Amino acid sequence: MKRFLCLSIIVCIFLSCAGCQTQYQETFFAMDTVVQVQVWGRDGQEAVRQFKSLMQNMEDVWSAVDETSVLSAYNRAEVELTQSQKTFLDQVQQLSKRTDGAFDPLLGGIVALWGFYDDDYKIPESAAIQNAPRLWDLGAVVKGYAGQLAVDMLESMQVERAVLNIGGNIQTYGNKTDNTPWQIGIQNPAGGDPVGVISVMGTASIVTSGDYQRYFEEDGVRYHHIIDPETGFPADSGLSSVTVVCRDGMTADALSTALFVMGLEEAVEFWRKSDDFEAVFILKSGQIYATQGVCLTDCAFEVIPRED
Ligand code: ADP
Ligand code: MG
């Protein structure tokens, strides 16, 4: 069985920051992924330190992979959660409801069967999928949530601006000195240079879910890590990636996963009923679609209008 584990950074960030003040940056490994942080401002160094500690805490509490995490113990019914932890899970459930279950935070039993926790990949029997226990797995939201918590933290500090790259989840904070937008490249699912560039002003979360991020192949078929809750199999929606741009990191993360499961048509319908995000879709064919509010450049794409 061929194995692939793609922990690569999903996007390239093009930062032009004329005349900016002191910049602090660090790259480290947390929450099973590579994290890059760049912060400008007087409290930059302290912000990086606190952000690292925040990431460590997120991993200790919410990892589904680490058997010693609070979430794993909660899945085994060994611990009670604190009030704020329960509130967080309530918010997660709300997002699941909003997506009509396409984002499903209780797929842990199924994700484990596929071997995505221990990299011992295998195609499960359908009976095993049907009987899999409903266990919490917050892999689809926790990086976005971390970005959101980081923004709350940065707001309380002397920080001018920051960019966080949490395993491809990009969180921008503040404006550049020359007031030009942050420019974020969208990874080409087929590899190579980014396929396009998204521009955003100020604080925003830009999150991509794709079938190339974590997968294995067997008999020429790719089995990736985004599961369709209706089948228990990797979502086969015709999409290769979905990028969501949203003010709120956790929403961006949950929706990128959910829209991937839904597929283009259903996702567009969902977007038309919403007013808090924009999205870029890359089909398996390579064709690119962008909702009308996205500022996308450097690629050919079709605009999805608000009205049908
Ligand atoms: P990534 O973590 O690579 O950025 P996602 O945000 O799309 O990608 O999250 C995928 C992870 O979320 C999977 O590794 C799995 O743990 C979990 N997951 C898979 N399918 C779903 C789903 N339909 N709803 C919620 N979580 C999911
Ligand atoms: Mg997600």
| Residue pLDDT, tens place only, 27-80 | 999 998 999 999 999 999 999 999 999 999 999 999 999 999 999 999 999 999
Probe target for ligand 1 pocket from 226, 240, 253, with the most ligand atoms within 8 Å of CB: 226
Q: Is the pLDDT of residue 16 over 70?
A: no
Which pLDDT score, from 0 to 100, does residue 67 have? 96
Is any atom of ligand 1 closer than 6 Å to the C-beta of 33?
Answer: no
Reference 253, options 185, 152, 166; nearest CA is 166
Percent over 90 (pLDDT), the chain: 90
41 C-beta closer than 6 A to ligand 1 = no
Q: In what order do the strands lie in the sheet with 169-173?
A: 23-30, 33-40, 161-166, 169-173, 204-210, 239-246, 277-283, 288-291, 302-304
pLDDT of residue 307: 86
The answer to whether the beta carbons of residues 201 and 232 sit under 8 Å apart is no
Q: In the chain, pLDDT over 70 holds for what percent of residues?
A: 93
Paired with 200 in beta bridges are 182
- Residue with the smallest CA separation from ligand 1 atom 14 is 225
Distance from Cα 230 to the centre of ligand 2, integer Å: 18
Give the separation between CA 142 and CA 159, rounded to whole angstroms.
Answer: 24
Task: Judge whether 233 and 111 are in contact, CB under 8 Å.
Answer: no
148 has pLDDT over 60: yes
CB atoms within 10 A of CB 230: 11
pLDDT of residue 21: 63
Question: Angle, to 10 degrees, between the axis of helix 44-62 and the axis of helix 142-155?
Answer: 150
- Interval 171-211: pLDDT, tens: 999 998 899 999 999 999 999 999 999 999 999 999 999 99
Q: Are strands 23-30 and 169-173 parallel, antiparallel or unpaired?
A: unpaired
pLDDT tens-digit profile of 99-119?
999 999 999 999 999 999 999
pLDDT of 10 reads 38
pLDDT, tens only, 239-285:
999 999 999 999 999 999 999 999 999 999 999 999 999 999 999 99
Which of 59, 107, 113, 230 is the pocket-test mutation for ligand 1 (most atoms within 8 Å of CB)? 107
Q: Tokens 């912000």, residue?
A: 47
Q: Indicate the DSSP class of residue 193.
A: S
Q: Which residue of 225, 236, 253, 266 sits with most ligand 1 atoms within 8 Å of its CB, as the best mutation to test the pocket? A: 225
Query: Of all atoms in ligand 1, which is nearest to the CA of residue 261?
Result: 23
Ligand nearest to the CA of 225: 1
212 lines ligand 1 (CB under 6 A): no
* Residue 5 confidence class, pLDDT cut points 50, 70, 90: very low
d(CA 22, CA 24): 7
Determine if ligand 1 sits within 6 Å of the CB of residue 137: yes
91 touches 138 (CB < 8 A): no
